[in-house]
């Protein structure tokens, strides 16, 4: 039997390829040996060169080994089993097309790779062109350009401290450098007053609620629940006439409340036009209490009071009652907040707000 070298001499057009090509070369040589005696002029010619892709994937008629035959593959030498071709042009699939949207801007510098935007307008300067479709990673209905919690659903986008993170994904909602899990006022800024470790937050009565958000501690103004300075009913107003004018009251409160996020109390922001007592009651009528699984009677969900020694703004902290804390996961309690301001002359003003309480 002739050696490979002898076979090559019989068919000088055959190139002997070693290594990875050994089997192909041997096949070609055997073919030559089979016909050499009858047709010395017949030659099996090997390709001049084979790409690295072809060497790695010797599958028949599938050079890149992506399970798509060469004649149907829009990137025959680059694996792309999905065959995605965003621009639909005959210039190849996205895997081997340098301009996937065919807008004249190479993919490496295109701020909307698969959406044509030759003008590259990016109004907000965030690196994504205006032509790019909205992306909502966490499926909360908020485009990622505007979402303050990209991977945590938070359609209300609540952000108490106004930083870059919404409360749903912010470990420190009030930005006082105490994580919410250990903060004794998680929604009220109350940093430590310590200059050196141990760093602690003020809690004068030691009940676990920080002094800045504890309605049972006197933070400023008069003692909660007491009459404002200046006397009582019939106190003279401007010009010596009896004061019969109720104070002006402005209230701000987060309508949607989650018990596990709000701590021990509902935070109510209030502005009173004069010295006044502020009394807050959050209650739900019987029909809403039944729907929430809290019984058939009217439910008081929170109470709180505070006083202002003069015109200004303050917080009222209405503590959740044990009844409200019985609210089970998945249940909703529709309630009303009534905040009443009473001045030194006994004049009153009440503001009502809806509260949607969930666990």
Looking at residue 56, its pLDDT comes to 63
How large is the average pLDDT for residues 172-177? 84
Looking at residue 315, its pLDDT comes to 80
Task: Identify whether the C-beta of residue 245 lies closer than 8 Å to the C-beta of residue 293.
Answer: no
Evaluate if residue 50 carries a pLDDT over 60. Answer: no
19 pLDDT band (50/70/90 cuts)? very low
Strand pairing report for 276-284 and 332-343: antiparallel
How large is the average pLDDT for residues 129-147? 81
Mean residue pLDDT of the chain comes to 77
Residue 337 in any domain: the answer is: yes
114 pLDDT band (50/70/90 cuts)? confident
Can you tell me the distance from the alpha carbon of 6 to that of 13, in angstroms, rounded to the nearest whole number?
Answer: 13
Looking at residue 246, its pLDDT comes to 92
For the chain, the domain total comes to 3
Can you tell me the distance from the alpha carbon of 159 to that of 300, in angstroms, rounded to the nearest whole number?
Answer: 27
Q: How many CA atoms lie within 13 A of 57 on its CB side?
A: 19
Helix (H, G, I), strand (E, B) or coil at 308: strand
Q: What's 259's domain CATH number?
A: 2.60.40.2550
Residue 142 in any domain: the answer is: no
How large is the average pLDDT for residues 8-29? 42
Of 199, 214, 229, which residue is a domain's last? 214
Same domain, 271 and 345: yes
Residue 293 in any domain: the answer is: yes
Same domain, 250 and 210: no
Using CB atoms within 10 Å of the CB of residue 5, give its burial: 0 to 12 exposed, 13 to 18 middle, 19+ buried. exposed
Residue 224 in any domain: the answer is: no
Strand pairing report for 312-320 and 299-308: antiparallel
Looking at residue 57, its pLDDT comes to 62
- Which residue would you say has higher pLDDT here, 315 or 252? 252
- Of 217, 211, 230, 215, the C-alpha closest to 278 is 215
Residue 15 in any domain: the answer is: yes
Same domain, 250 and 200: no
Looking at residue 272, its pLDDT comes to 92
Same domain, 198 and 280: no
Residue 137 in any domain: the answer is: no
- pLDDT tens digits, residue range 78-109? 888 889 998 999 999 999 999 999 999 999 99
Same domain, 200 and 273: no
Please give the residue range of the domain that contains residue 351.
244-358
How large is the average pLDDT for residues 124-138? 80
On whether the pTM is more than 0.85, the answer is: no
Same domain, 258 and 194: no
Same domain, 257 and 318: yes
Same domain, 201 and 299: no
- pLDDT tens digits, residue range 314-353? 888 888 898 998 999 889 999 999 999 999 889 999 999 9
Task: Identify whether the C-beta of residue 164 lies closer than 8 Å to the C-beta of residue 153.
Answer: no
Residue 161 in any domain: the answer is: no
Residue 273 in any domain: the answer is: yes
Looking at residue 66, its pLDDT comes to 82
In which residue are the tokens 């001049």 written?
48
- pLDDT tens digits, residue range 186-243? 878 888 877 778 888 888 888 888 887 776 765 444 444 444 544 444 455 555 567 8
Task: Give the CA angle between residues 212, 199, 182 to the nearest 5°.
Answer: 60
């Amino acid at each position: 039997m002739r050696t490979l070298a002898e076979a090559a001499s019989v068919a000088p057009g055959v190139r002997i390829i070693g290594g990875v090509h050994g089997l192909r070369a041997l096949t070609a040589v055997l073919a030559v040996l089979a016909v050499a005696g009858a047709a010395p002029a017949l030659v099996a010619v090997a390709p001049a060169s084979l790409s690295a892709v072809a060497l790695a994937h010797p599958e028949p008629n599938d050079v890149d080994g992506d399970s798509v035959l060469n004649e149907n593959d829009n990137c025959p030498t680059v694996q792309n089993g999905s065959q995605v071709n965003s621009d639909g042009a005959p210039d190849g699939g996205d895997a081997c097309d340098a301009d996937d949207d065919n807008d004249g801007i190479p993919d490496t510098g295109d701020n909307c790779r698969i959406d044509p935007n030759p003008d590259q307008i990016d109004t907000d300067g965030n690196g994504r062109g205006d032509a790019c479709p909205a992306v909502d990673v966490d499926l909360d209905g908020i485009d990622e350009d505007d979402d303050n919690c990209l991977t945590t659903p938070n359609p209300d986008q609540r952000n108490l401290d106004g930083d870059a993170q919404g409360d749903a994904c912010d470990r420190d909602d009030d930005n006082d450098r105490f994580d919410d899990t250990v903060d004794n006022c998680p929604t009220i800024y109350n940093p430590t007053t310590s200059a050196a470790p141990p760093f602690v937050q003020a809690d004068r009565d030691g009940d676990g609620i920080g002094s800045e958000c504890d309605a049972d501690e006197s933070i400023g103004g008069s003692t909660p629940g007491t009459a404002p300075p200046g006397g009582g009913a019939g106190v003279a107003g401007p010009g010596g006439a009896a004061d019969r004018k109720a104070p002006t009251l402005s209230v701000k409160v987060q309508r949607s409340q989650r018990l596990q996020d709000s701590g021990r109390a509902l935070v109510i922001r209030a502005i009173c036009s004069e010295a006044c007592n502020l009394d807050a009651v959050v209650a739900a009528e019987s029909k809403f209490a039944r729907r929430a699984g809290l019984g058939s009677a009217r439910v008081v969900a929170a109470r709180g009071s505070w006083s202002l020694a003069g015109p200004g703004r303050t917080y009222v902290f209405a503590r959740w009652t044990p009844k409200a804390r019985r609210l089970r996961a998945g249940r909703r309690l529709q309630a009303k907040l009534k905040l009443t301001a009473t001045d030194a002359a006994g004049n009153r003003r009440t503001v009502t707000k809806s509260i949607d309480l969930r666990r």
